[in-house]
Amino acid sequence: MNLLEVKSICKTYGSGETAVHALKNVSFSVPKGEFVAVVGESGSGKSTLLNMLGALDTPTSGKVFIDGNDTFTMKERELTVFRRRNIGFIFQAFNLIPELTVEQNILFPVLLDYQKPDRAYLEELLTVLNLKGRRGHLPSQLSGGQQQRVAIGRALFTRPSLILADEPTGNLDSQNSSEVISLLKKASGKYEQTIVMITHNRSIAQIADRVLQVSDGVLTDFGRQQD
């Protein structure tokens, strides 16, 4: 079953001779539990695509379905709740709340939704992410790699059906980059998370189950990686 369906997405900025066609008739699908990497040069349209998948921006034309839900037909409030409960975001800049501890940052999306946190799952994630000894630390007391692991924990904690990662290793050294990608790979398998990761690093992309490329707004599917 496909968790994500993208159908003929086009995105144009401006009009007339100055129009920029950021995405050109992009279509693909992602089965549940697949880890997909999207590669492309700066300005290729890959970040625009991620914004469409996360319903952070609206397309000029086309549809995006997440678990059968047409995101662009939802009203703003309905979409906000749907996004919070069904999509986890991991950003290059971590986007942690500086005044909150590691544990509080991970719990934040659930508390924001007035839900009761699953404490057993929190302990499991802290163990998997190797953050148990840092649970009371503030982001400023962590390394870049540790901060990104917190961001991954925050994205995983709501058990979203889709995780969108935007250059998650962009601010990390090679060792921390490898650890972060391994964690995403493990999340895809262990928790059946469907992950779409944007990266310009092709060697990192090779770890994913499948690689897509965006070039001048056109998407090419290179298919599943060989084990």
List pLDDT tens digits, range 4-58: 999 999 999 998 889 999 999 999 999 999 999 999 888 889 999 999 999 999 9
Q: For the chain, which residues make up each domain, given as ranges?
A: 2-224
The model carries a pTM of: 0.89
* Res. 3 pLDDT band, cuts 50 70 90: very high
Contacts (Cβ under 8 Å, ≥6 apart) of 227: none
Query: Residue 224 above 80 pLDDT?
Result: no
d(CA 45, CA 55): 15
Query: Residue 215 above 90 pLDDT?
Result: yes
The hierarchical CATH code for the domain 2-224 is 3.40.50.300
Tokens of 169: 């290793």
Which one-letter DSSP state was computed for residue 109?
Answer: H
The residue type found at 195 is I
200: helix, coil or strand? coil
Please name the residue that has the structure tokens 């991991």.
90
Tokens of 111: 């508390």
Give per-residue pLDDT as tens, 72-87.
999 999 999 999 899 9
